[in-house]
């Protein structure tokens, strides 16, 4: 069993869908680190709650709607893998698009301390097996 509560993470996504990033900031460890998908050409690492807000502010510039649908939650020791369908709507085009994304959370003392984003379940689980998440 992970140190974090996988169902609590599921509830955090519901809160995000209802209230955006501000609805979840207090849930995160103040020193949280978030790393973009490693396959992104401009992948970045964001630090602290302000970094998380900055990341989502950049997303909101392009999309006026962002919602996560939890597909699967996998308890993986001190990590929790959340497989998601991401639904967005382009700010200027108003075109709706969906896609898959996977969030791997590291939990300490009941709070997320790291988040690493992947394009697929397989990529996320392989990174966990190779112990790549310690590098954040």
CB neighbours of residue 62 within 10 Å: 12
What pLDDT does 135 receive?
46
pLDDT digits (tens, 9 = 90+) for 37-67: 877 777 889 999 999 999 888 888 888 889 9
C-alpha neighbours within 13 Å on the C-beta side of residue 40: 12
CATH architecture of 6-135: Roll (3.10)
3 state SS of 1: coil
| For the chain, domain boundaries | 6-135
The answer to whether residues 61 and 31 touch, using CB atoms and an 8 Å cutoff, is no
What pLDDT does 52 receive?
94
In 3D space, the residue among 103, 133, 131 whose CA is nearest the CA of residue 6 turns out to be 103
3 state SS of 21: helix
**Segments of the chain with pLDDT less than 50:** 1-2, 135-136
What pLDDT does 1 receive?
39
């Amino acid at each position: 069993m992970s140190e974090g509560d996988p169902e609590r993470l599921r509830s955090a996504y519901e809160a995000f869908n209802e209230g955006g990033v501000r609805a979840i900031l207090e849930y995160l460890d103040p020193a949280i680190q978030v790393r973009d998908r490693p396959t992104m050409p401009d992948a970045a690492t964001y630090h602290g709650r302000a970094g998380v807000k900055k990341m989502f502010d950049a997303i909101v510039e392009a999309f006026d709607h962002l919602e996560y649908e939890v597909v699967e939650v996998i308890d993986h020791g001190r990590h929790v893998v959340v497989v998601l369908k991401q639904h967005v709507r382009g700010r200027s085009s108003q075109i709706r698009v969906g896609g898959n994304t996977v969030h791997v959370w590291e939990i300490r003392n009941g709070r997320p301390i790291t988040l690493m984003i992947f394009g697929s379940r397989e990529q996320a689980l392989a990174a966990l097996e190779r112990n790549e998440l310690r590098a954040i």
